[in-house]
Amino acid sequence: MNEIPLDAETKALEAPGDHKSDIRLWLRLLTCTTLIEGEIRRRLREQFDVTLPRFDLMAQLDKVPDGMTLGEVSKRMMVSNGNVTHVVEKLVASGHIDRRPAPRDRRVQIISLTPAGRTEFRAMAKVHEDWIADMFAGLGEKDEAALMELLGKTKTSVKTALDGKFGAKEDRS
Amino acid sequence: MNEIPLDAETKALEAPGDHKSDIRLWLRLLTCTTLIEGEIRRRLREQFDVTLPRFDLMAQLDKVPDGMTLGEVSKRMMVSNGNVTHVVEKLVASGHIDRRPAPRDRRVQIISLTPAGRTEFRAMAKVHEDWIADMFAGLGEKDEAALMELLGKTKTSVKTALDGKFGAKEDRS
DNA sequence: GGCAATAACTTTAAGCTTGAAATATTTAAG
DNA sequence: CTTAAATATTTCAAGCTTAAAGTTATTGCC
């Protein structure tokens, strides 16, 4: 009666419908991200007097030479349009970015780093890169490669689960 | 002059001081967390009309039978004290939790789930668990175990980097 | 052209989050 | 006992974030 059948490998140890190990995995993933993000946020504020959202937005703009539309920034950063509007206002006010209407479509705003903004961002980015490297310093190259690979699988798995809601059969291009 | 020395394995391919692969790893970690968290947030709101912070706070309280101090909640959730005060007010107002002063120390507030709050939380938690399991469904057991292990190493690595700031030699107990 | 649908962005209301300052209480030293 | 330091929580100001509704501009269809 209280014997546990051992015919299904490790999984047999869990009750049916029990996904506790997935929850633990999720919580650990969240903890890692929260730890790193909180520390980066704190250091950016202390050492450069900049918030993480503003830094992230500048990072998107630094990747391109001639600016980007608000919608593209919103998509890349995975945040709402209203959020981008708000952060952009702050960065325009502080002189880090410029904003101009698109030539062919008056609905569209194009934003780009000012020269000063780009210079300042790159100085911060260099230090930021070192912070991240330090935080991952305890992992060897093999570990990092394996983690990268597994997170790639995770991302795919999550996206599949999300798409499933729409019954999508193919890649929405 | 433009020959790259190949005497240091793979790492030799990167310029000195270049930590781009760590940045990519960090961004991928962040993307995974953001994707999952955003979807959970959305579903909790749509299906249960509850915010993620409130759900998380109730999750902490559900782990213990007799409640917890605000400080302990703050530590476990890794958020500020003021934040806990704010979320607790909302949950008290909605009748999900109770709040009472500690018997021996009048500075301390103890909060606990009301019977109704616990019942409602557990119903949500069950569904939440399935959502998480679905999102990780694309990973096999081996992958999940490996990811769990690597995230454990990552957490240790990050904490070491953070402690380093204080020159800590031992575990602050 | 006229008009409906679509798209880009902004506004709004609500809520989360933080760090710092303030308040209230307890503990420890003398 | 008195007082200084430490602790637990709250308050405050600033800023982030979202979903939904609103505005303006473009596109496709007749």
Per-residue pLDDT tens for A2-23? 554 444 445 555 666 677 899 9
Amino acid at B53: P
A165 CB-side CA count, 13 A: 10
Give per-residue pLDDT as tens, B21-50: 999 999 999 999 999 999 999 999 999 999
Mean pLDDT throughout A28-34?
A: 96
CA–C1' gap, A90 and D5, in angstroms: 41
pLDDT of residue A171: 40
Residue B107 CB in 7 A reach of strand D: yes
| Distance set, CA A31 to CA A36, B81, B115, B152 (Å) | 9, 18, 29, 10
CA/C1' separation A137–C5 (Å): 53
pLDDT tens sequence across A99-125: 999 988 999 999 999 999 999 999 999
Average pLDDT over residues B126-152: 95
> How many beta-carbon pairs below 8 A join chains A and B?
171
Q: At A165, is the pLDDT very low, low, confident or very high (cuts 50, 70, 90)?
A: low
- Determine the topology of domain A21-136 in CATH: Arc Repressor Mutant, subunit A (1.10.10)
**Residue A67 has what DSSP assignment?**
-
For tokens 């599949």, the residue is: A160
pLDDT (0 to 100) of residue B165: 55
Contact B74, B81 (CB under 8 A): yes
Which nucleotide is closest to B51, CA to C1'?
C15
Helix/strand/coil for B167: coil
CA distance A34 to chain B (A): 8
Residue A60 pLDDT level (bands cut at 50, 70, 90): very high
Which residues of chain A neighbour B32 with C-beta distances below 8 Å?
29, 151, 154-155, 158
**B116 pLDDT higher than 80:** yes
User: What are the chain B neighbours of A62 within 8 Å (beta carbons)?
Assistant: none
- The rounded distance, in Å, linking the Cα atoms of A81 and B100 is 42
Task: Report yes or no: B22 and A129 within 8 Å, Cβ to Cβ.
Answer: yes
Q: Which of residues 81-110 of A touch strand D (CB under 7 A)?
A: 81-83, 86-87, 90, 104-107
Q: Are A51 and A44 in contact (CB under 8 A)?
A: yes
Query: Are the CB atoms for B117 and B58 separated by under 8 Å?
Result: yes
Instruction: Give SS3 for A111.
Output: strand
CB-nearest partner of B133 from A19, A130, A143: A19
Contact flag A138-B150 (C-beta cutoff 8 Å): no
Each residue's pLDDT tens digit, B42-94 = 999 999 999 999 999 999 999 999 999 999 999 999 999 999 999 999 999 99
pLDDT at A81: 95
Average confidence score pLDDT of chain B: 88
Do residues B29 and A26 lie in contact, with contact meaning Cβ atoms separated by under 8 Å? no
Coil, helix or strand for A152?
Answer: helix
**What are the domain boundaries of chain B?**
51-134
CB < 8 Å to A59, chain B: none
Mean pLDDT of B110-135: 96
**What is residue A173's predicted lDDT score, i.e. its pLDDT?**
34
User: What does CATH list as the number for B51-134?
Assistant: 1.10.10.10
